[in-house]
């Protein structure tokens, strides 16, 4: 076998993939639960983190402005319990508004149900964002 043919059959090794160190999934999950977008920010997805933070906090604020209610965990009323669980999926805004005396709910306001919808859906969307951040951290989803 000549020199030329030997070099022709040599197999090129693929370049090693460049991977940034992954953040711990539990830390990512807790941060993403408290602050919308924080899980993505920790992993370098700055643009996505900004979108999640701005939109979800805005939705929560709109819900409060529309007279929506921060529901308590009430086991006797299953739907109220589920609404409370959904609202708690956006922890920091939920705690901050409760501490600030907001979210009493204005049941006679024409926008009351809209407000509840915005509050509940913002929490549910943050739950999806949290799962996405954890999937990125564990490697189940490609970066």
Partner 1 sequence: MTTHLGVMMLFAACVAAVFGALLRDDPRDQVRMAGRIFTGLVVGAYAVGWVMYIAF
Binding site for partner 1 (CB under 8 A): 47-48, 51-52, 55-56, 58-59, 62, 66, 110-111, 114, 117-118, 121-122, 125, 128-129, 132
Task: Give whichever of 88 and 114 is closer to partner 1, judged by the CB atom.
Answer: 114
Minimum distance between the CB of residue 16 and partner 1, rounded to whole angstroms? 22
Task: Give whichever of 98 and 121 is closer to partner 1, judged by the CB atom.
Answer: 121
Minimum distance between the CB of residue 110 and partner 1, rounded to whole angstroms? 6
| Whole-number Å distance between alpha carbons of 86 and 65 | 18
Question: Token pair 């000549």 is at which residue?
Answer: 2
Residue 53 and residue 36 in contact, taking contact as beta carbons nearer than 8 Å: yes
Task: Give whichever of 84 and 130 is closer to partner 1, judged by the CB atom.
Answer: 130
Task: Give whichever of 73 and 141 is closer to partner 1, judged by the CB atom.
Answer: 141
Question: Token pair 């149900």 is at which residue?
Answer: 113
Minimum distance between the CB of residue 11 and partner 1, rounded to whole angstroms? 31
Minimum distance between the CB of residue 119 and partner 1, rounded to whole angstroms? 12
Residues with Cβ < 8 Å from 3, sequence gap 6 or more?
Answer: none
Q: What is the DSSP letter of 36?
A: T
| Whole-number Å distance between alpha carbons of 31 and 24 | 11
Residue 56 and residue 122 in contact, taking contact as beta carbons nearer than 8 Å: yes
């Amino acid at each position: 076998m000549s020199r030329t043919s030997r070099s022709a059959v040599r197999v090129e090794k693929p370049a090693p993939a460049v991977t940034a160190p992954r953040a711990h999934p539990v830390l990512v999950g807790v941060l993403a639960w408290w602050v919308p977008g924080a899980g993505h920010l920790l992993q370098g997805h700055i643009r996505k983190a900004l979108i999640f933070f701005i939109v979800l906090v805005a939705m929560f604020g709109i819900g409060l402005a529309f007279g929506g209610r921060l529901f308590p965990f009430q086991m006797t009323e299953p739907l109220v319990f589920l609404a409370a669980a959904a609202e708690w999926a956006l922890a920091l805004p939920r705690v901050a508004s409760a501490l600030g005396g907001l979210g009493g709910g204005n049941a006679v306001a024409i926008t009351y149900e809209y407000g509840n919808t915005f509050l509940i859906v913002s929490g549910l969307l943050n739950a999806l964002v949290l799962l996405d951040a954890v999937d990125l951290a564990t490697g189940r989803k490609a970066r």
